Amino acid sequence: MKKKDKQKKIYLVIGTLLIIILLAVLFIFFTKEKPIDKVEEEHIIVSEFGGAPFYWRYEVDNKNIAQLKETRVISESDEGTDGGESKIEYIFEGLKKGKTTIKFESYDFVNDEVDETIVYEVQVDKDLNVKIFKLVYE
């Protein structure tokens, strides 16, 4: 086999691989669920119900931008009421200017599955003030 034929085959293989990689990246980009709107929220507040096998867990995409400062129970059901609703407020503080997302999941530990997902965009300005936007999906 001639040297030029080998080079052509190598270029053909490399070109084919690059096209496959490009198509895979485009597929991932265009099939990823994108929010249709975002609504500014004053705080992140979730509801929990006593006796229910669910708890909220969260994940901060970029932990260098924001972190959990504290959680507060802001309302509880009447004493003695089994299964009553409690509202929990999550307070985040800015660490450096930037944007990140925080995903909250209501996790059913009995069935080992996620029951509900809420995604927030968090923007931190140069003075470390935090703005929270709830992302709305179809």
Tell me the per-residue pLDDT of 3-31, one tens digit each, with 9 for 90 and over: 777 888 888 888 898 888 888 777 766 65
- Residue pair 77/104 in contact (Cβ under 8 Å)? The answer is no
Q: Are residues 7 and 23 in the same domain?
A: yes
Range of the domain at 25: 1-32
pLDDT in tens, 95-134: 999 999 999 998 887 888 888 889 999 999 999 999 999 9
Per-residue pLDDT of 117-126, as tens digits, reads 899 999 999 9
Indicate whether 80 and 125 sit together in one domain: yes
Q: Are residues 27 and 68 in the same domain?
A: no
**83 and 15 within one domain:** no
Asked whether residue 83 falls in the same domain as residue 47, the answer is yes
Name the CA dihedral angle for 38, 43, 44, 47, rounded to a multiple of 10 degrees. -120
Total domains, the chain: 2
**pTM tops 0.85:** no
Q: Is 129 exposed, middle or buried (0-12, 13-18, 19+ CB in 10 A)?
A: exposed
98 and 132 together in one domain: yes
Are both 63 and 11 inside the same structural domain?
Answer: no
Which CATH number is 46's domain given?
A: 2.60.40.2020
Three-class SS of 63-116:
CCCEEEEEEEEEECCCCCCCCCEEEEEEEEEECCCEEEEEEEEEEECCCCEEEE
Query: Is the pLDDT confidence value at 34 over 80?
Result: no
Judgement on whether residues 70 and 109 belong to the same structural domain of the protein: yes
Whether the Cβ atoms of residue 96 and residue 126 lie closer than 8 Å to each other: no
- Residue 77 sits in the same domain as residue 13: no
Q: Which residues pair with 105 in a beta bridge?
A: 57, 117
Once rounded to an integer, what is the mean pLDDT over residues 65-79? 81
| Domain identity same for 72 and 121 | yes
